[in-house]
Chains A and B, each alone.
Chain A
Amino acid sequence: SQQGEEDPQALSIQEGENATMNCSYKTSINNLQWYRQNSGRGLVHLILIRSNEREKHSGRLRVTLDTSKKSSSLLITASRAADTASYFCATVAIFKAAGNKLTFGGGTRVLVKP
């Protein structure tokens, strides 16, 4: 079953615009992570936000977390054509040191047009 559900499923924007995507999840989490996947490739970790954090920045990325609403958002500012990819949120529900499993959402496909 999918813990995280991304919204929208697809997004098309012009270069320079901001892209915002949302993730909702069902159970309590330890942390939430965002990953990027270029077409036909593996996933790349972008940013992690812990359950006691509300906002985090990394370069042009801004992530928010609202545990009361069980939701997170990823904002990409000043988008570039190279940001074209699928973006996934992933959650860690049961925390243990060994073998922490991530549960991934279905992803948001972002197309940045030059």
Chain B
Amino acid sequence: DVKVTQSSRYLVKRTGEKVFLECVQDMDHENMFWYRQDPGLGLRLIYFSYDVKMKEKGDIPEGYSVSREKKERFSLILESASTNQTSMYLCASSFFYSPRHNNEQFFGPGTRLTVL
């Protein structure tokens, strides 16, 4: 079974703190993604990565950065947390599309971040 794990289920931080959210997958997936999920807004893509050290901005990258130093690990960084970054953060991974694999994404359990 594919496993995508996230470092914390719940996190409470203060405004201005630097926050690291970690995601690890064990299926040798090339692609990794970070989303945030807010009521009424659905899932929105923050950043994604298709290779080590490669990253691309999603729909809402402002206020976030990412790091992918190893294939299995994708980190989301909030340089200076703000209250409007209170949200559920979801990590996902997938293979490249190929005759063997479609591009379905496998999700972690999510991290509910509260910024006070």
Contact = CB atoms under 8 A, between A and B. Distances in A.
A91 to B, nearest CB: 11
B105 A102 contact: yes
Interface residues of A, number: 28
A25 to B, nearest CB: 13
Interface string B1-43: 0001000000000000000000000000011010100001111
A70 interface: no
B107 A43 contact: yes
B92 to A, nearest CB: 8
Contact of A95 (B30, B43, B97, B98): B97
Given A98-B30, A99-B56, A106-B40, A42 B96 contact: no
A1 B45 CA distance: 10
Contacts of B33: 101
Nearest to B40: A106
A41 interface: yes
B73 interface: no
Nearest to B48: A99
Given A40-B110, A42-B109, A98-B31, A33 B42 contact: no
A101 B106 contact: no
Given A42-B110, A88-B43, 9 more contacts: A45-B105, A96-B97, A97-B96, A97-B98, A98-B30, A99-B31, A99-B48, A100-B96, A101-B45
